[in-house]
Structure 1
Amino acid sequence: MIRKNKKALTALALATSVVASGLTALSAYAEGGEQTVNWTREQASKIELNQDNTLPYTDISKLEKLAPGYHMWDTWALTDRDGNVASIKGWKVIFALTAPSDVLPGKVHDIATIRYFYSKNGKDWTLGGELFPSGSALGSRQWAGSAMMDNGKIHAFYTATGHKGEERLTYEQRLAMATGDIVADNSGVRFENWGDHRIILEPDGKHYQTKEQAQQGEGGGYAFRDPMWFKDPQTKKEYLLFEGNSGGSAADRKLKPEYVGSPEFAGQQNVPPGAVHANGNIGIAEVEGGDFSKIKMLPPLVEANYVNEELERPHIVVKDKKYYLFTDSHINKYADGLTGPDGLYGFVSDKLIGGYKPLNGSGLVLANPADNPYQAYSWLVLPNLNVVGFAHFGDLGNMSIGDVGNQTPEFQFSHFGGTLAPTVKLSIKDDRTKLEQEYEPGWIKQ
């Protein structure tokens, strides 16, 4: 990320601004009521590895490929309409982004294709093939999403990235879906009779940044992806969560007291000007009346302005009548002046809309060990609090993730997992989480 050399805000000015504003760390769009909560710099500054959140070391070189011939990474399970892991005549189904295993790890996102796997025991997975008929999906490639079944149908949500037939790869991202039939028998599962694929949501430029806005100025990222189905068990209303960025350009973004934290914390801080480029958020849209043609975009649930630029694959688990909102982020996505690991992060609220507070005080739920900081990523918490993810890069020594692409192909392949990581078990009590146990890679337990 390119940084601009401007003088940082002084601690005194910022603290004065906080006191004068009378604002708390929980802020919202005016039209969103108390919907949008800020993950503050003060909260993120509390991130630290400990025995409750640090994953055991994984030796990437000893993992067997779940799908020989393919890399696989972002993974999700087929669920029923209520969000439970589905069973179709005893079969479980998972989906993953995939690419041929002879493609360099840094290039896999350029040709990502969704494939699916099925299993009776949730351990031994059989590759079913591509989810969609070749060439039918929107975009030049497809990124992560979710899949929900209802009355013998599969509703598949995904990220349509780029445009079909483009000569040069582009990175525009839109939320897309298609519906097909589920066929299951003693031999396995397959999907047939797909309807037309359609774009169901695009960024509005107000709550969610467009690609054009993101390209104004230097630095920062762009995201509008990862649609995740969610049905609120209390209201029975249905939604899609997704990853976005706060609307507008970096030049229009101003540092607000509620992005920083308490007056006491602000009084000790100089916020680097480059932090303006961090504007990740967790979006939500209502599927009105369960009608996929009527999707209403809502203000974000959580924003990370001046904190983090990517809050990936957001999803919710409801436990003890509390809403646990999880997301993933990388080491290199933190704003200037903050640090955090590749990890699973989370927030908790007594309601779906508004009131979210970071779990464990900082937001960190699970992280890779300090001596193997890139060993896994893209964690997804299942309703039973099992967590699945994929094996990323292992045993890089002092190398950063950005250095990997400069190494030989042999080095890159030998240090890349490209398969499912060990499943782990979480426990949750109120606003605290704890890593309890590690299981076999890719195990979708009952």
Structure 2
Amino acid sequence: MPEEDSSGQFGMHRRTALKTFGALGAAGVAGATLPGSAAGKGRFGPSWTREQAEQIRRTDANTAPLIDEPVDKLSDSLYIWDTWPLRNRDGSITKINGYQVIFSLTAPNDVPPGARHNLARIRYFYSKNGHDWTLGGEAFENPLGHHQWAGSAMYDQTEDQLYLFYTAVSDGNLPPRERYRQRLAFAKGASMETSSEGVSLTGSFEHHKIAEADGQTYQTLEQSVDQGIVYAFRDPWYFQHPETGEDYVVFEGNTRIEDPSAYQNDWYKWNGNVGIAQATNEELTDWELQEPLLEAITTNQQLERPHIVVNRGNYYLFTISHKFTFAPGLTGPDGLYGFVADSMDGDYQPLNDGGLVVANPTEQPFQTYSHLALPHGDNLLVTSFLNFQDLPGESLDSVSELSPEEQKAVFGGTLAPSLRVQLKGSETRISAELQGGQFLPSAGKSKSGGNGKN
């Protein structure tokens, strides 16, 4: 995902004790009652309301430690940001002959960090211990789109086949009505080969388009130009329903607004949602758009990289968002937000009252981004990338005021220390900080395995 230029007990960690902070985020200004707001319902279903977002607070339980030590970079020549692991169909992290594999958005680091989004390519890394990663190479030779943004990766053990989901994006240098057009896509057909030398992709991929915005439920690029802030139809995250075995992807979208005059001022432009599509054949080549799982009309414009974790019969829906994408009168830090329901298509309610699960510390409000919550028993493993540190201003807009070399100096562009988060009903708590880029093997009821080719 691009950053737009308008852009219990605490466990031990590598610095001996978890740092905590007691700073509270400012409450949002109460807004007028809007269509669907009071009932917690959007146009199509559950809604993250302004009233709920006004409860967002930074606390000791949800504020990440300040990263005040150097973080080892995965590459000396690449920016690395949105990252996701290779998982089995049940959502557990795959291990193939002892190796874990992750996929990342990457770009050459000889350009200003903002330029990386138009150069993004998906590359893979492998590791035996889940935190010392070796670059394998590019995932695709001829993917769809001018460049690719975030997605997910699934390994089918029976088929010995990879399914790589991604966002196919048009050239960002095109005119506004064509710039950064996004479609959901996936590739299948290749597999992994392991040896004493490492891991490599073998075979060839077939690329398929899953879906594009329909203009009825999901706002198109053209509609966004006329009535929107930032257009989104991206970030497909594969999810197999644990009860039915049905195949889905959840993704970030925007709800089409039928009657802007029904909303106060121009708040209808803040119309983010978590969309969902269902596969209608076993090959996963045919998909059908469904109504969004969650909407944030008049609350937030971007619900990026949504993903689902199932724990003790509860369905947890996580997403990431920026401070600047909250609607007027509301505020929330850059970080991870979460919701819970008793079924996949249930009535999602925000975790921790307002929804905030992981916030950056006030000292470094943009230190990490693109958080990903992965199941680990009754805990969560939360990963992210090192974003901007030591910015001179109070918003991401200040990045554009720096010289290209200064921008490179304040941008991390590698994986940040992971976090362990306790999960209990509708509440969460950060309990430990782990190593940089650490992906813990799945634990608890989730299965892990994988054979691959030797």
Q: Give the structure-1-normalised TM-score.
A: 0.87
1:128 to 136, 148, 152: 136
CA contact under 8 A between 2:208 and 2:285: conserved in structure 1? no
2:420 to 425, 428, 431: 425
| Post-superposition offset of 1:28 | 5.3
| Post-superposition offset of 1:27 | 4.6
Q: Deviations over 1:335-394 (max 9, x none)?
A: 111111101000000100121101011011110011100000000011111110000001
Structure 2 unaligned blocks of 5 or more = 7-29, 442-454
> In terms of mean alpha carbon deviation, does 176-185 or 235-244 score higher?
176-185
**Amino acid paired to 2:291:** P
| Post-superposition offset of 1:399 | 3.8
2:152 to 146, 155, 169: 146
1:304 to 268, 286, 296: 296
Q: Deviations over 1:262-305 (max 9, x none)?
A: xxxxxxxxx5x132210000001111243312211110000000
Relative to 1, partners in 2 of residues 1:22 and 1:201: Cα closer, same or farther, differing over 3 Å? closer
1:193 to 187, 200, 203: 203
**Amino acid paired to 2:299:** V
Q: Deviations over 1:11-42 (max 9, x none)?
A: 99x55x88xx997223553xxxxxx2110000
Q: Deviations over 1:200-249 (max 9, x none)?
A: 111111111100110114x5110000000001112221100000000247
**Amino acid paired to 1:96:** S
Q: Which residue of 2 aligns with 1:263?
A: none
| Post-superposition offset of 1:420 | 0.4
Q: Which residue of 1 aligns with 2:191?
A: 181
Structure 2 counterpart SS, 1:183: strand
Residue 223 of structure 1 pairs with residue 223 of structure 2 = no
In structure 2, distance between residues paired with 1:207 and 1:318 = 26
Q: Which residue of 1 aligns with 2:384?
A: 389
Q: Which residue of 2 aligns with 1:315?
A: 307
In structure 1, distance between residues paired with 2:395 and 2:37 = 41
Structure 1 counterpart SS, 2:375: coil
In structure 1, distance between residues paired with 2:372 and 2:39 = 31
Q: Percent identity?
A: 45
In structure 1, distance between residues paired with 2:172 and 2:397 = 28
Relative to 1, partners in 2 of residues 1:253 and 1:22: Cα closer, same or farther, differing over 3 Å? closer
In structure 1, distance between residues paired with 2:175 and 2:110 = 22
2:400 to 387, 395, 405: 405
Query: Paired residues, what number?
Result: 407
In structure 1, distance between residues paired with 2:129 and 2:52 = 40
Relative to 1, partners in 2 of residues 1:347 and 1:164: Cα closer, same or farther, differing over 3 Å? closer
In structure 2, distance between residues paired with 1:430 and 1:164 = 42
In structure 2, distance between residues paired with 1:399 and 1:332 = 11
1:88 to 69, 72, 96: 96
| Post-superposition offset of 1:254 | 4.9
Relative to 1, partners in 2 of residues 1:248 and 1:52: Cα closer, same or farther, differing over 3 Å? same
Q: Which residue of 1 aligns with 2:251?
A: 242
Q: Which residue of 1 aligns with 2:83?
A: 75
2:337 to 336, 340, 345: 345
| Post-superposition offset of 1:397 | 4.2
| Post-superposition offset of 1:255 | 4.5
CA contact under 8 A between 1:371 and 1:397: conserved in structure 2? no
Residue 24 of structure 1 pairs with residue 39 of structure 2 = yes
Counterparts of 1:197-208 in structure 2, within 5 Å, are 197-208=207-218
Residue 159 of structure 1 pairs with residue 159 of structure 2 = no
Q: Which residue of 2 aligns with 1:364?
A: 356
Structure 2 counterpart SS, 1:412: helix
Relative to 1, partners in 2 of residues 1:165 and 1:128: Cα closer, same or farther, differing over 3 Å? farther
Q: Which residue of 1 aligns with 2:276?
A: 284
Relative to 1, partners in 2 of residues 1:387 and 1:184: Cα closer, same or farther, differing over 3 Å? same
Counterparts of 1:44-59 in structure 2, within 5 Å, are 44-59=53-68
Relative to 1, partners in 2 of residues 1:53 and 1:255: Cα closer, same or farther, differing over 3 Å? farther
| Post-superposition offset of 1:410 | 2.4
Structure 2 counterpart SS, 1:428: strand
| Post-superposition offset of 1:132 | 0.7
In structure 1, distance between residues paired with 2:66 and 2:205 = 44
**Amino acid paired to 1:290:** E
CA contact under 8 A between 2:118 and 2:172: conserved in structure 1? no
| Post-superposition offset of 1:422 | 0.6
Relative to 1, partners in 2 of residues 1:153 and 1:254: Cα closer, same or farther, differing over 3 Å? farther
Relative to 1, partners in 2 of residues 1:333 and 1:27: Cα closer, same or farther, differing over 3 Å? closer
CA contact under 8 A between 1:178 and 1:194: conserved in structure 2? no
CA contact under 8 A between 1:255 and 1:306: conserved in structure 2? no
Q: Deviations over 1:25-80 (max 9, x none)?
A: 23553xxxxxx2110000001111010000011137x2221122101000000001
Q: Give the structure-2-normalised TM-score.
A: 0.85
In structure 1, distance between residues paired with 2:46 and 2:300 = 14
1:212 to 216, 219, 222: 222
In structure 1, distance between residues paired with 2:283 and 2:104 = 26
Relative to 1, partners in 2 of residues 1:152 and 1:42: Cα closer, same or farther, differing over 3 Å? same
Q: Which residue of 1 aligns with 2:439?
A: 444
Q: Which runs of 4+ in 1 moved over 4 A?
A: 163-169
Greater helix content: 1
Structure 1 unaligned blocks of 5 or more = 4-10, 30-35, 257-270
Q: Which residue of 1 aligns with 2:260?
A: 253
In structure 2, distance between residues paired with 1:246 and 1:406 = 33
